[in-house]
Structure formats: C-alpha cells, structure tokens
Structure 1
Amino acid sequence: MGNLELIRETMSSIEIAELTGKEHKNVMAAIRTMEPAWVKINGLKFKLVEYKDAKGEMRPMYELTKIECLYIATKFNDEARAKLILRWEQLENERRNGNFQVPASFKEALLLAAHQQEEIELQQKQIEANKPKVLFAEAVSTSQRCCLVSELAKIISQNGVAIGQNRLFAWMRKNGYLCNKGQYYNQPTQKAMELGLFEIKKTTITKPDGDVIVTTTSKVTGKGQIYFVNKFIGKEEPDANQL
C-alpha cells in the first residue's frame, strides 16, 4: 500500500519461513495442520492469499496476526520460536516509537480507512458463518443431555440442512448407525454404541391385566449430536473418539 502501510498487523508465511530458516512449504504444512484446532476454538480460519513467485506464477501463502503466529510457533523448535517472538517485539517497538508513515493526503487516509473496514467486515462474515456450528458444539460439549432422533433432526435443520425425523431414521439405518430389521429395528448398531453415539433407555409398563411390556428408546448422546451435525453440515468426518 505504499505510504498507507501504517502498522504491521500481519506477517506472511514467507516471512516466517525466512525468519526461522525453514522451507516455505514446511511452514505452510504446519499452518494447515494446526488450523482445524484454531477454527474449533474461535471460529476463524487463517487468512490465505496469493503471491507471484520468481517465475511469475501465483502461489498460496498465509497472512497471520501476531497471536496466530505465536500459536503456529508452538510447532517450531526453541530457536525458531525465539526469532519469531523477537521479530514481533521489534515491530511493536517501532510502532510505539512512531516509526511509521502517516497518510500524506486526505485521499490516502480514506483509502486506508476503507481497507481497514474491508478487513473488519471480512472477519465478521467469517465469525457469523461459523457461529451456529461453534455455538452448537460448545453447548453440547458442556452438557450430558441426550436427545431423541426427532430432536436431532430439528438441530440439524437449524444448522442449515433441512431434514425430518423419518428421513433421518432412514439415513441412519442406511449408513449403519441403526439396525434395519428384526426385533432390533431402529436400535443402535454395535458400531454406533462403541462410538458412544447413542444410549438405550428401557421403560417398563404394566398393563391393567398384569402383563408387563418393556419399551426401548434410542437416544442420541451429546457426543453423537456433535458427530451427526458435523456430518450433515459438510465438515470433514469427525473422529468420534476425540469429541
């Protein structure tokens, strides 16, 4: 941005590679590996942009904030991590000492303000896009409450995929989560129980004539709710053992 680059707010993955003495492809791989956990915690992905290499070809790189850089640095060895921390300290000292350029004209000031507003709006859109999924995962992870399959269908619909109780039952039978025939029809399969996706609730009913009836209800656990919602909103298939 020329004179409009007032304050260093980000650092590119290329600069991180040069600073730490690592190959850029390895830095990119480390960032991609650590991104899912970052998204899970705050709902934001790292900013991926493009640059033109020496051959004139467009290549991907990341632009990371200070806190994102320090998070990624946990993958580095002590020396590389120290270099990155000291570089950010240098940049912040320059900022505190006023070692930056101010807009040379009203036009430049307007362009800077527009650029900053664009960045804010982009981050807000990312937050809003991930908000339903993040809030759902947080709510379920702190609750042990099980729910009926009909309730799960409503939760999935609220997260953007319209589906009713009957269709969800059919999908679960087809994909091996519920038994599809016999006396165990619509009860969890062994696989689903081992993954911790369901619980079985048995209710005993005594009829007026003295006969006793035992009814079985399949209920989706908190872990199961996260698992199935993640399936339907198009995220990568989750590892149920880590939910």
Structure 2
Amino acid sequence: MKQLQILNQDGKLLVDSREVAQMTGVRHSDLLDKIKGYVLHLTNGKFRSSDFFIESTYADAKGEVRPCFLLTRKGCDMVANKMTGEKGVLFTAAYVTQFEEMERKLKESHQLPTTYKEALLQLVKQVEQNEKLQTENLVLVQQTKELKPKASYYDMVLQNKSLLAVSKIAKDYGMSAIALNKKLHELGVQYKQGDIWLLYAKYQDKGYTQTTTHVIDAEKSRVSTKWTQKGRLFIYELLKKENILPMIEKESHDLTGTGA
C-alpha cells in the first residue's frame, strides 16, 4: 500500500481527498459527495466543519480547476469510521501512523531548549532572523519609493542609464567607497542596516538609487544598491557645499591658482 502523503500548512496537518480516494479504492467524486454530506450534518449540528474538512481545488491534467477537500485528522477519523473491510483498516493504520510521525517531527522542530546554551543559541538565531526580516522590509520600502519618481522624461532617462557603484563615484573624488559611504552617512543621506547602506526616507523617492536583490541560491541572496546619474549629481552638489570637489575639478581649480 502506498504511503499516505501528509500536507503541512502552517503547522496544520492535512490529507488530500484524492489520496484518501486512491487508498480506499473509491471514486473521488463519490468520496466528495460523502464529505459534502458530512459537512452538512456537521454544520446543522453547530460544529465547525473546517475542523474536519477544508474545501480546496486542484488543476487536472487538462489544466482545469476541480474541487477537492483537505482532511484533518478528525476528518480522516470520520471517513475511516464509515468504512469496513481490509481497505478501511489499512487506510486507518496509514493515516494514524503518518499523522503521528508528522506530529513528532513538528514537535521536535519546535522543541523547547533544555539547557542555557540551547536557549542562547535559539535566541541568537531568532535575533538574526528578525534582523534579516527588518532589513528585507527596509530594502523593500526603499525599492518601492525608488520606483515612484517618473515626473519627467529626463528623470526617467536618468533612472535607467548608467547605474554606478558607490566605489566608482568615490574614485572621482580620490576617495574609497568606505570613506564616501561614511561621509554620506555624516551628511544625513544614508544609514547602515546590517551590511547594506540604505537612504533615509526623505531621499528614497528622489530617483537617486536603484536597489536590486540578486538570488545566490535558495537560502542566500545579496542586495545591491547602485546610484543613478541623478544620484551622482546629487552627491556632487552635496559634497561641493562641503568644499569637496571631484579630482578633475580640483586639478583645474589648482591650476588656475584660485585654490591657493
């Protein structure tokens, strides 16, 4: 007898009615009719039918949407109690065994720490997960605002042309990327979240940056923030007020003697 497939939906263990029909040797349509009858009786009896059976759908071989039910353990109990013979016994044994196994695995995955070290490790892991979620949320906010500025054709061109890494802009000023990022932070332009530099809210919708997420594998991804040409001009005007000029302008300035 094939192994019963248990679905885990947010910690709730369920079985597809198609699986039940196959294991018990009945037509799926006949089983659906029986379950609909059970649902009617449960509803009339003031029971929550969703504690037993959950309406769902699936796509058949032709891609057409068909109805089905997802059965909880209580739902399996109800169906099994109406069955007799070898298939009914085997179905009961299969779902009881599989549910117990899945419940055991869920319990182990949520097992409470028994030592101070285990508790500390769980706490560190939770903090890391929370920080990751916070970072992802802040990146999403910035990405959303970056998409807003489309006031003119000029702005649109700037946003989609020649994106620059901060290291490239820093090179114009004879600075390192670390130094320029620090300066922009001091000037209230950006802040660091984890290992990512993000713009403060008042600059996020100006079209100065474009932030993208590069998926490395199923577990890892890397966020990359690059500056647009409009952002490059913004940095130029900002640093100019601080008497920090690009190398090319600084050299011209020195040659004329006005910088003496």
TM-score range, shorter chain: 0.3 to 0.5
Say which one has the larger Rg. Answer: 2
Report the TM-score when normalising by structure 2: 0.34
Larger RCO: 1 or 2 (CA < 8 Å, sep 6+): 1
Report the TM-score when normalising by structure 1: 0.36
